[in-house]
């Protein structure tokens, strides 16, 4: 699904166009103004994300609930550690999870009083362990699906590490129904990282998994460039294949044989493997096109 920010009236025009053309469910992200939530639902969003604490009081929330109920729209209650109610502040850093859960339960209570249960909950913080604790604490108390995320997780590398840890700890426990990786990077990187997390946990199988070694003194080909080129070229492939790209013929053949297709590098050449068998020797400059051709052939065969 795709979340679209709806910061003002101007955004609503674009939202209606996006909703009408999107093949994916669109979620409207609403802040501060309940009227934007009402209009977003009119534009046909599948869900809205609100922080009930900042959209203007109980009466307005009830209006949002009434329309959501009518239109079968799911509401995500987003609790963010950075914008908790004033009476929950300050809390000791190690009690952040409890404060987030208290806030979430208050908001949930408001919706339940109106007998509205089409909810999804998120508890976001930039602190990995407090986030994990918060979801675990809330999990025993409510039946609603969870949207997971480590918010403001940072740049591509630090955000990936934090997200993989936090989301991984929760997902292996069976917690979490949707997720978002938040990075200070292009949104497509967030999607790629999220997918890699799911794949590493065995929760998704689509796409090419590349297994490659870190290189060492035995490596005599430009493995990093090779992996980079292949990874880029196969981004759009949906077939679940394992491709091993290894630096040497000492430890490389084992992994290459285990994969659907593999390369083990030699001095200026690479040995090609497929289906557990060694096929042939390829000059280094032809490794990328040959590997891509072999992948394409296998995709066609499996197709």
Among 36, 183, 213, 227, which residue interacts with ligand SF4 (rule: CB under 6 A)?
Answer: 213
Under the binding rule (CB under 6 A), the answer on residue 218 touching ligand SF4 is yes
Q: Is 262 in the site for ligand SF4 (CB under 6 A)?
A: no
Residues 84-123 binding ligand SF4 (CB under 6 A) are none
Distance CA 145, CA 133 (A): 16
As measured in angstroms, the least distance from the Cβ of 264 to ligand SF4 is 8
Listed ranges 2-10, 133-141, 250-258, 287-295: which one lies at the site for ligand SF4 (CB under 6 A): 250-258
Ranges of H-type helices in the chain: 9-21, 34-42, 58-71, 96-113, 128-139, 156-172, 187-200, 223-233, 252-258, 287-302
- Which one of 18, 68, 219, 274 is in contact with ligand SF4 (CB under 6 A)? 219
> Would you count residue 222 as binding ligand SF4 (CB under 6 A)?
no
Decide whether 248 or 282 has the Cβ nearer to ligand SF4.
Answer: 248
Q: Which residues of 143-170 are buried (b: 16+ CB within 10 A; e: fewer)?
A: ebebbbbbbbbbebeebbebbbbbbbbb
Residue 251 as a binder of ligand SF4 (CB under 6 A): the answer is: yes
Q: How far apart are CA 243 and CA 226, in angstroms?
A: 12
* Pick 22 or 220: Cβ nearer ligand SF4: 220
Asked if 262 contacts 269 with a C-beta cutoff of 8 angstroms, the reply is no
Write out the binding residues for ligand SF4, residues 228-247 only, by CB under 6 A. Answer: 246-247
Taking the CB of residue 255, how many other CB atoms lie within 10 A of it? 19
Q: Which phi and psi angles does 144 have, rounded to 5°?
A: -85, 155
Q: Does 266 bind ligand SF4 (CB under 6 A)?
A: no
Asked if 216 is part of the footprint of ligand SF4 (rule: CB under 6 A), the reply reads yes
In degrees, rounded to 5, the angle at the alpha carbon of residue 166 between the alpha carbons of residues 197 and 73 is 80
Binder among 90, 92, 214, 303 for ligand SF4 (CB under 6 A): 214
Closer to ligand SF4 at the Cβ: 92 or 217? 217
The C-alpha angle 218, 224, 226, rounded to 5 degrees, equals 105
250 binds ligand SF4 (CB under 6 A): yes
Interface with ligand SF4 by CB under 6 A: which residues? 213-216, 218-219, 246-248, 250-252
């Amino acid at each position: 699904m795709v979340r679209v920010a709806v910061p003002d009236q101007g955004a609503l025009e674009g939202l209606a166009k996006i909703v009408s053309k999107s093949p994916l469910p669109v979620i409207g992200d609403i802040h501060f103004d309940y009227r934007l939530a009402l209009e977003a639902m009119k534009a046909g969003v599948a869900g809205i994300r609100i922080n009930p604490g900042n959209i203007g009081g109980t009466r307005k929330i009830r209006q949002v609930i009434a329309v959501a109920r009518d239109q079968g729209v799911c509401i995500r209650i987003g609790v963010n550690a950075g914008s908790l109610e004033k009476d929950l502040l300050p809390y000791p850093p190690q009690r952040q999870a409890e404060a987030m859960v208290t806030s979430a339960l208050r908001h949930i209570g408001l919706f339940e009083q109106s007998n509205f249960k089409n909810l999804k909950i998120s508890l976001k913080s930039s602190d990995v362990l407090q986030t994990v604790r918060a979801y675990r604490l809330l999990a025993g108390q409510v039946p609603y699906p969870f949207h997971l995320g480590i918010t403001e997780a940072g740049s591509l590398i630090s955000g990936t590490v934090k997200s993989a840890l936090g989301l991984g700890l929760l997902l292996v426990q069976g917690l979490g129904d949707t997720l978002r990786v938040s990075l200070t990077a292009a949104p497509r990187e967030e999607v790629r990282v999220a997918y890699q997390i799911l794949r590493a946990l065995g929760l998704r199988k689509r796409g090419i998994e590349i297994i490659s070694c870190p290189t060492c003194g035995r490596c005599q080909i430009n493995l990093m460039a090779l992996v980079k080129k292949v990874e880029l070229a196969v981004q759009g492939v949906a077939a679940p294949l394992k491709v091993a790209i290894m630096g040497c013929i000492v430890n490389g053949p084992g992994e290459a044989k285990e994969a659907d297709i593999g390369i083990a590098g030699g001095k200026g050449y690479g040995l090609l493997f497929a289906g557990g068998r060694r096929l042939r020797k390829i000059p280094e400059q032809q490794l990328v096109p040959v590997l891509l051709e072999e992948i394409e052939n296998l995709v066609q065969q499996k197709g």
